[in-house]
Structure formats: structure tokens, C-alpha cells
């Protein structure tokens, strides 16, 4: 990879170029800051910039490198590498509103665990990125920062809740970002914006310092992880982020194995075209088959299967989430005091509510029996989800992966998800199963929007799904740079 093109390099390549002094940290960070300044007015992905601070930190990194002389092995692995971070993670001295207007003046006093770990690894944050209101919808839009737009077509959504991350990484203005996923909030933005994302095995990465933080069993459904433009960065970043911190009690020690140890010729691949309930766009199905063909060409054994039980995704996910939650969503919206949902819906009609419509609808239906079942039924459904998890885990074993759509269609137009509010269950089902999943880009549709798929693995086999993602990147190309033009700024 040419050092003259830092906007295409992986984080590992940038780190190596900086350590070998073929590229300064100031040049690496400066290139990404310049590009962010060019594209962000259209994307509204970075909502809290720290461009000048990042450039200063890059100069300090260069000075540290000079002082180290030949002893570069003692330096942090990501010294001088730029990144972005989802605004819902506490970053000391910066806003931590999570898109809630009542929190717009909240300034984080200390770093979230994962933010601190990235800093310790030498990464330099150039800005915080946009989210959906309280991270609970698939379009990144809120009353604090407004709406984010897709780098491939600004008329389309970026996904949520890590939508700002997906957009800025997809635009090429950040080599990687920090996201979180409890129903698809890493994978959907990565899919809609044409990049890689990894939802780790449950309990691998602490969520400490995130707002809002899940409760009880849902701490293990919530996965903090990377969104990257190159698949090869996924495991190194996961190693930096993973491990207990003494605060998030859902996190347990787990050995992360090497993707390069995976024998692709022994891989067992199951291809499932849909969940038996919601049809999938034909171009996405073609991408699924193309990925299967690539892995089969590398020696993997491929079989096509039907799994209609995945069509139960919403029932299983929503029941698990409801059973785990002690705090109603309406109280989260009111910062500890339940909001009057009916009144706020009326205020929304007249454009006077502090909240977005998806947030109000979620608050309105959280106790609605036809949608959210009674506790006894919730327990039965959670038991069903655990049985399905055990079934899939056993089927996949140590060397199996499941190829499955990330979403039924490429990035929809803004607000369109309100008309199809359950399409996100293609990702959510795997959160309650706590299985590792890697989102893989597979080129662009005829309309120029990203295509992609999920690679699902057995519990603890994050290295297997990442190995498959790396193979697909090598054979197919991975991230495709958005076209230059007035919509997203020049990428030259």
C-alpha cells in the first residue's frame, strides 16, 4: 500500500509507517482531519470535533517517536494513528449526551474503559460521532446534533446507533472507530456505509463508561467493538479493547485466538438466505452467494440451509431485553423521571417535542401487551432463545460459520425505516445468542449503495468469523471508496 495514500491504509499499516518514519503521525492525522473537514459538512458524522487537539497530539507522538530512537518496540502499538469514537462513550472533557437533549450539557469527567484503552494504545481521536437518541434506533438522528447522511448517497440513512462511525469510516476520513451493538448498532452502520464491523462474543469487551449502559443479563447482549475500513484491523483492535475492567460484571476473560491460525480449507459454511419472514433484495442474495463461492474456492465446505426459526428474532430479542431491564425507556428519556409519553407525542405533532419519533414510539410500546408479552411469556421466549443459541453453537462448532444477510435491503432513504420497523431483527437475534458476528462489505449495488453480509460464528470463535472476513477482503476487495463528487467532497 502506498504511504502516499493514508486515506486508504489500515490502522496497522499507518502504525507501521509511522514507526518506520515513512510517514509522520502529523501527516497521518492531518490527512484524515483534512478529509473530515471536507466531507463532514454533508455527512454530519463527526458531531464533536477535536481536530486541533488531535493535530497537537500527533506532534507529541512524533516527538515521542524521535526520543525512542531505535527502541520502537516499547512504544504503544497504535502510536499516532487517528480514529473516531461514538459520542455515547465517555471521553474526558467532551460531551456525552447520547443524543438526548436533556444531556446536552453533560461533560464526561473520565474516559470510558475502551476509550482509555485506545488512548493507552496510542490512538488519537479526531472527533466524536453521531448516534440515534439514546442509541435505540437504526437512524442516527437526534435533537442535539441532527441527522447523519450516507457517504454513498446523502439521501440515505447511515444506520444506528453507531451511525456516525459507519459514515465517517465509510467516507475514508477515519481508519477505524469505536461503536457498540445491542441489536445491530455496529453491524447495520458498517453495512449501510460499506465497511467492516465486529460484534464480539458476549462478555468479551466492557461497556463501562457508555450511556445508557445495559442492565443485568443485557450487559452480555451489548457488545462494544470496532468499525474499520480494513478487515485486518478487527482482531488487533479487539485485543486492545477486550478483557475485564473490574466494573462491567458481564465481562469474563476469554482467549482471543489468531485468525491466521484458521484453516480456510477446513471451514464449514452454512448459507441462509433469509429469516423465512422478510424477503431479501436480490443483489444482497447475489452477494451472499458470491461470498459462499469465494470461500468454497478456498476449500471450504458449503451448504445451503433454511432456518425459519430465525424469523422469531423480534420476539426473542425484545423478550430478552424486557426481562433484563430494570429501568423503563421512558425513564431513560427523562433522565430518571418518566416522561409523559402521550403529551410528548402530541408535542411532536406540532414540532415542539424534545424527542425523536422513534424514541417516543419505543417508550409508548414498551408495556404494550400485543407487542411486549407478559413476564411468563418473556421467560418462555428467553428459554427458546437460549435453546436456539445452543443449537446453532453446536451446529457451527469450532470451524463453522453462518453467512446471513445483515439487512433485507441496502441503505434505505431517510425515515423509510419507520415504515418497516422490524427489518433490524436480522442482526438483533445474534445479540441475545451472544454469538460473534463480523459484518463484511461486498461491493456496491447498481444504485451505488454498499452490499454486504454477516458472518456468524460459534461462541468464542471471533477469530473464525474475522478470518472469513479477511479472506473475503483479500479475494473481493472489501471497502470501496465512495465516488468523488459534491455530495461527499473530494476523496482525491
Catalytic residue check, 277: no
Is residue 485 pLDDT above 60, yes or no?
A: no
**CB contact set of 290 (below 8 Å; sequence gap of 6+):** 442, 476
Rg (CA), the chain: 21
**CB contact set of 292 (below 8 Å; sequence gap of 6+):** 269, 271, 302, 403
Q: Which helix (H) or strand (E) holds 242?
A: none
- pLDDT band at residue 369, thresholds of 50, 70 and 90? low
Is residue 487 pLDDT above 50, yes or no?
A: no
pLDDT in tens, 316-356: 999 999 999 999 999 999 999 999 999 999 999 999 999 99
> What is the distance between the alpha carbons of residues 182 and 428, in angstroms, rounded to a whole number?
7
484 preceded by a cis bond (ω within 30 of 0): no
Residues of the chain above pLDDT 90, percent: 94
Catalytic residue check, 490: no
Residue among 10, 86, 148, 319 flagged as catalytic = 86
- pLDDT band at residue 489, thresholds of 50, 70 and 90? very low
The mean per-residue pLDDT over the stretch 262-283 comes to: 97
Catalytic residue check, 24: no
- pLDDT band at residue 366, thresholds of 50, 70 and 90? confident
Q: 304: helix, coil or strand?
A: strand
- pLDDT band at residue 375, thresholds of 50, 70 and 90? confident
Residue among 97, 162, 185, 200 flagged as catalytic = 185
Is residue 486 pLDDT above 70, yes or no?
A: no
E-state strands within 12-123: 46-49, 82-86
CA distances from 287 to 310, 313, 406, 471 (A): 20, 22, 11, 15
Range 86-105 burial, b when 16+ CB lie within 10 A, else e: bbbbbbeebbbbbbbbbbee
Q: Which residues pair with 176 in a beta bridge?
A: 228
The mean per-residue pLDDT over the stretch 223-232 comes to: 98
pTM here is 0.96
Q: What is the domain partition of the chain in residue ranges?
A: 12-316+375-476, 329-365
Specify whether the CB–CB gap between 81 and 226 falls below 8 A: no
Residue among 10, 140, 148, 161 flagged as catalytic = 161
Architecture (CATH level 2) of domain 12-316+375-476 = Alpha-Beta Complex (3.90)
**CB contact set of 113 (below 8 Å; sequence gap of 6+):** 206, 207, 208, 209, 245, 247, 248
**CB contact set of 376 (below 8 Å; sequence gap of 6+):** none
Is residue 491 pLDDT above 60, yes or no?
A: no
Amino acid at each position: 500500500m502506498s504511504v502516499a495514500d493514508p486515506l486508504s491504509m489500515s490502522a496497522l499499516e499507518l502504525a507501521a509507517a509511522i514507526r518506520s518514519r515513512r510517514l509522520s503521525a502529523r501527516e497521518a492525522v492531518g490527512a484524515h482531519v483534512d478529509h473530515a473537514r471536507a466531507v463532514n459538512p454533508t455527512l454530519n458524522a463527526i458531531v464533536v470535533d477535536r481536530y486541533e487537539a488531535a493535530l497537537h497530539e500527533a506532534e507529541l507522538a512524533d516527538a515521542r517517536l524521535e526520543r525512542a530512537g531505535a527502541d520502537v518496540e516499547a512504544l504503544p502499538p497504535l502510536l499516532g494513528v487517528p480514529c473516531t469514537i461514538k459520542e455515547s462513550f465517555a471521553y474526558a472533557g467532551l460531551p456525552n449526551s447520547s443524543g438526548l437533549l436533556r444531556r446536552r450539557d453533560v461533560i464526561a469527567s473520565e474516559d470510558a474503559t475502551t476509550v482509555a484503552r485506545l488512548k493507552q494504545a496510542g490512538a488519537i481521536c479526531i472527533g466524536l460521532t453521531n448516534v440515534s437518541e439514546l442509541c435505540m434506533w437504526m437512524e442516527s438522528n437526534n435533537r442535539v446534533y441532527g441527522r447523519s447522511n450516507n457517504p454513498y448517497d446523502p439521501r440515505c440513512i447511515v444506520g444506528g446507533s453507531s451511525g456516525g462511525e459507519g459514515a465517517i469510516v465509510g467516507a475514508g476520513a477515519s481508519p477505524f472507530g469505536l461503536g457498540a451493538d445491542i441489536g445491530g448498532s455496529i453491524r447495520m452502520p458498517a453495512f449501510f456505509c460499506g465497511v467492516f464491523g465486529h460484534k464480539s462474543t458476549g462478555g468479551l469487551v466492557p461497556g463501562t463508561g457508555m450511556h445508557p449502559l445495559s442492565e443485568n443479563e443485557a450487559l452480555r447482549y451489548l457488545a462494544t467493538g470496532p468499525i474499520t475500513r480494513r478487515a485486518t484491523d478487527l482482531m488487533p483492535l479487539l485485543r486492545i479493547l477486550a478483557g475485564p475492567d473490574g466494573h462491567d460484571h458481564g465481562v469474563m476473560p476469554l482467549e482471543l485466538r489468531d485468525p491466521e491460525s484458521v484453516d480456510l480449507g477446513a471451514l464449514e459454511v452454512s448459507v441462509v438466505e433469509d429469516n423465512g419472514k422478510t424477503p431479501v433484495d436480490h443483489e444482497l442474495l447475489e452477494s451472499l452467494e458470491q461470498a459462499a463461492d469465494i470461500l468454497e474456492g478456498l476449500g471450504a465446505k458449503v451448504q445451503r440451509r433454511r432456518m425459519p426459526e430465525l424469523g422469531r428474532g423480534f420476539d426473542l430479542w425484545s423478550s430478552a431485553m424486557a426481562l433484563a431491564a430494570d429501568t423503563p425507556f421512558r425513564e431513560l428519556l427523562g433522565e430518571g423521571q418518566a416522561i409523559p409519553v402521550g403529551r410528548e407525542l402530541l408535542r411532536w405533532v406540532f414540532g415542539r417535542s424534545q424527542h425523536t419519533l422513534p424514541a417516543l414510539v419505543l417508550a409508548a410500546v414498551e408495556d404494550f401487551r400485543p407487542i411486549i408479552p407478559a413476564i411468563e411469556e418473556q421467560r418462555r421466549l428467553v428459554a427458546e432463545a437460549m435453546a436456539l443459541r445452543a443449537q446453532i453453537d453446536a451446529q457451527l462448532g469450532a470451524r463453522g460459520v453462518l453467512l446471513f444477510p445483515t439487512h433485507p435491503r441496502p441503505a434505505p432513504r431517510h425515515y423509510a425505516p419507520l415504515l418497516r420497523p422490524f427489518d433490524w431483527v436480522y442482526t438483533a437475534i445474534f445479540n441475545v445468542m451472544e454469538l460473534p458476528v463480523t459484518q463484511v462489505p461486498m461491493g456496491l449495488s447498481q444504485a451505488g449503495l454498499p452490499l454486504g453480509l454477516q458472518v456468524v460464528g460459534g461462541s468464542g470463535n471471533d477469530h473464525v468469523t474475522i478470518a472469513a472476513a479477511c479472506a473475503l477482503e483479500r479475494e473481493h476487495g472489501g471497502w470501496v471508496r465512495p465516488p468523488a463528487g459534491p455530495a461527499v467532497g473530494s476523496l482525491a
